[in-house]
């Protein structure tokens, strides 16, 4: 039994090609190939499929929607562009000598934390387990050319800055409390807050170099964008959505609290297994959606899916790249022009052991020098091999997008050596993931809100258009941008569909 599960998991992970496309939808009687001259995606489906609800995207949002709809007795088909499920979660094998077989690291989203109730419940439902992010030992701070180690929360010499940042955080939390999660644009000061960048707010409210630097790094690491890219209202909404800014930035007790044994993609793989491969079409980019009173038709190269309704569970910017017939109204379309994805390259180096632990370090570094300005110990639970992970975020990420992987590897190692010494010089394996260059993601962690967008386009974010429903973590009220928000958004869309007349 375990073997069969493993096989199914492997198939969903590695793509449908090995399965033979036909085997994916054994239950769909009227699947007949169409005579398209356009080349279909390799291993992609051919022919016509039918379901009650078609779902675009097999990330956490789409799979959660499917799961809830199946529980409600609906016939669903999840249509996924890639050769795998999981969206912005993805396990990658650690193949370095000494790594136990099956060891993985996540190259996408990886953490869960307290109050993320829906994803924690899903982890339990799927029989998965979590473990704490390694957090024992001192931190490293590199600033003004000087490296220092420290315990507690405040880097040496940054006391006043830390106090100022803490006051700012309390003030932001308090402002965020005035932002209604369902309609941020109705906040009493929405117009004022959506008229300035978060950088302008920093410039007007923090005055010590250290305080500004701390808050800037916090924002960069939460949004993988620069404070100047973000609306103040957008940041406040995000804070409210997560409960507090501390929830967003903390490791222990915050959004970086815990990891999933076996890698975070297991959540998606588990949901996909439960759905069964006959409910998921892989290698099937949806290029066009026809919609009307009678139903919807999703079309890709060589295949079509007819359904009563569709849930589009991909980031808004990608949803805007699908052709709709009839074309969507200007408000919805212009919204999709205005929610760009953040920018992050996630880099990881594998070492024979987590050597920094022996030096009393927890592997977490902050820095004012790139390319990597933030690191974590990302070793497997038993620490039998060491994995140092870094983020190249926002402007730093954009600056290396056109570098070769080898150039980024060099920059990463230089950063790691700067924070953890010469032992970091020769990793056994370098693993990077450049989400902005992935055709079906185009950036991470999530879509961001520039100034003015919530105010003028917010109402078009979630509102269904006829038989089209919108999911994806960008549409979530709680834990927007996180796994938890993705799952909530899928379930909310499923609830809409069930409530709607067929």
| Among the listed residues 4, 37, 499, 502, the single contact to its own copies using CB under 8 A | 37
We find the least distance from the C-beta atom of residue 390 to its own copies, in angstroms, to be 18
- Pick the closer one to its own copies by CB: 391 or 420: 391
Please name which of 167, 165, 313, 190 lies closest in space to residue 240, comparing C-alpha atoms: 190
> What are the helix (H) ranges across 310-404?
316-319, 330-336, 355-358, 394-399
CA distance linking residue 70 with residue 66, whole number of Å = 6
| Among the listed residues 338, 373, 467, 488, the single contact to its own copies using CB under 8 A | 338
- Pick the closer one to its own copies by CB: 356 or 457: 457
CA distance linking residue 489 with residue 113, whole number of Å = 18
> Applying CB under 8 A, does 343 fall inside the site for its own copies?
yes
> What residues numbered 184-223 form the site for its own copies, per CB under 8 A?
194-197, 199-200, 203
- Do residues 263 and 378 lie in contact, with contact meaning Cβ atoms separated by under 8 Å? no
We find the least distance from the C-beta atom of residue 276 to its own copies, in angstroms, to be 29
What strands, in cross-sheet order, belong to the sheet with 344-351? 146-150, 138-143, 361-367, 374-377, 386-393, 344-351, 429-434
We find the least distance from the C-beta atom of residue 396 to its own copies, in angstroms, to be 10
Which stretch in 29-37, 64-72, 139-147, 414-422 sits in contact with its own copies by CB under 8 A?
A: 29-37
Residue the block writes with tokens 């793989």: 269
| Among the listed residues 38, 127, 501, 502, the single contact to its own copies using CB under 8 A | 38
> Applying CB under 8 A, does 170 fall inside the site for its own copies?
no
- Pick the closer one to its own copies by CB: 6 or 329: 329
Which stretch in 82-90, 109-117, 450-458, 469-477 sits in contact with its own copies by CB under 8 A?
A: 450-458
Exposure of 207 in the CB half-sphere (CA atoms within 13 A): 0
DSSP state of 100: P
> What residues numbered 249-288 form the site for its own copies, per CB under 8 A?
287
Pattern of binders to its own copies over 51-80, x per CB under 8 A?
------------------------------
> Applying CB under 8 A, does 442 fall inside the site for its own copies?
yes
- Do residues 250 and 364 lie in contact, with contact meaning Cβ atoms separated by under 8 Å? no
Query: How many angstroms from the chain centroid is the CA of residue 131?
Result: 20
> What are the helix (H) ranges across 98-231?
117-125, 159-176, 190-193, 198-205, 209-223
> Applying CB under 8 A, does 436 fall inside the site for its own copies?
yes
Nearest-10 Cα torsion for 170, 173, 178, 180? 180
We find the least distance from the C-beta atom of residue 108 to its own copies, in angstroms, to be 15
Q: How many CB atoms lie within 10 A of CB 98?
A: 14
Q: Which residues bind its own copies (CB under 8 A)?
A: 34-38, 194-197, 199-200, 203, 225-229, 287, 299, 317, 320-321, 323, 327, 329-331, 333-334, 337-341, 343, 395, 398-399, 401-402, 434-437, 439, 442-443, 450-452, 455-457
């Amino acid at each position: 039994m375990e073997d069969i599960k493993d096989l199914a998991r492997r198939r969903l992970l590695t793509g449908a090609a090995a399965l033979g496309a036909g085997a994916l939808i054994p239950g769909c009687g009227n699947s007949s190939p169409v005579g398209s001259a356009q080349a279909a995606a390799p291993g992609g489906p051919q022919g016509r499929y039918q379901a009650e609800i078609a779902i675009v995207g097999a990330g956490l949002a789409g799979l959660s929607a499917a799961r809830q709809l199946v529980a409600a007795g609906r016939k669903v088909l999840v249509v996924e562009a890639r050769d795998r499920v999981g969206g912005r979660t993805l396990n990658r094998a650690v193949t370095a000598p000494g790594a136990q077989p099956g060891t993985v690291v996540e190259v996408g989203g990886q953490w869960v934390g307290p109050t993320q109730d829906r994803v924690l419940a899903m982890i339990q439902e799927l029989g998965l387990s979590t473990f704490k992010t390694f957090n024992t030992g001192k931190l490293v701070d590199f600033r003004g050319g000087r490296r220092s180690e420290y315990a507690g929360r405040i880097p040496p010499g940054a006391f006043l800055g830390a106090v100022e940042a803490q006051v700012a955080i309390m003030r932001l939390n308090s402002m965020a409390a005035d932002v209604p999660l369902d309609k941020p644009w109705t906040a009493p000061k929405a117009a004022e807050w959506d008229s300035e960048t978060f950088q302008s707010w920093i410039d007007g409210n923090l005055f010590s170099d250290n305080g500004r630097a701390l808050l800037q790094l916090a924002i960069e690491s939460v949004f993988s964008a620069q404070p100047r890219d973000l609306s103040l209202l957008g940041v406040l909404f995000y804070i409210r959505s997560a409960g507090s800014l501390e929830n967003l930035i903390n490791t222990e007790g915050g959004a970086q609290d815990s990891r999933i044994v076996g890698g975070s993609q297991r959540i998606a793989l588990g949901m996909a297994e439960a759905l069964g491969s006959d409910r998921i079409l892989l290698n099937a980019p949806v290029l066009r959606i026809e919609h009307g009173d009678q139903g919807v038709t999703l079309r890709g190269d060589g295949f079509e899916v007819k359904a009563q309704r569709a849930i589009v569970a991909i980031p808004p910017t990608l949803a805007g790249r699908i052709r709709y017939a009839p074309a969507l109204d200007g408000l919805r379309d212009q919204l999709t022009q205005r929610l760009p994805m953040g920018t992050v390259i996630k880099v990881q180096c594998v070492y024979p052991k987590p050597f920094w632990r022996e030096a009393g370090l927890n592997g977490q570094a902050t820095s004012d020098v790139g390319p990597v300005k933030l690191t974590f110990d990302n070793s497997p639970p038993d620490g039998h091999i060491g994995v140092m992970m870094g983020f190249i975020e926002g402007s730093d990420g954009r600056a290396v997008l056109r570098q070769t992987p080898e150039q980024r590897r060099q920059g990463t190692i230089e950063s790691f050596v700067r924070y953890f010494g010469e032992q970091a010089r020769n990793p056994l394996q370098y693993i990077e993931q450049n989400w902005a260059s992935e055709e079906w993601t185009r950036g991470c962690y999530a879509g961001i809100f520039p100034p003015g967008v919530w105010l003028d386009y917010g109402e078009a974010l979630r509102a269904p258009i006829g038989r089209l429903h919108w999911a994806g973590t960008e549409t979530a009220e709680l834990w927007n941008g996180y796994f938890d928000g993705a799952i909530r958004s899928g379930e909310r869309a499923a609830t809409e569909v069930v409530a709607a007349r067929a």
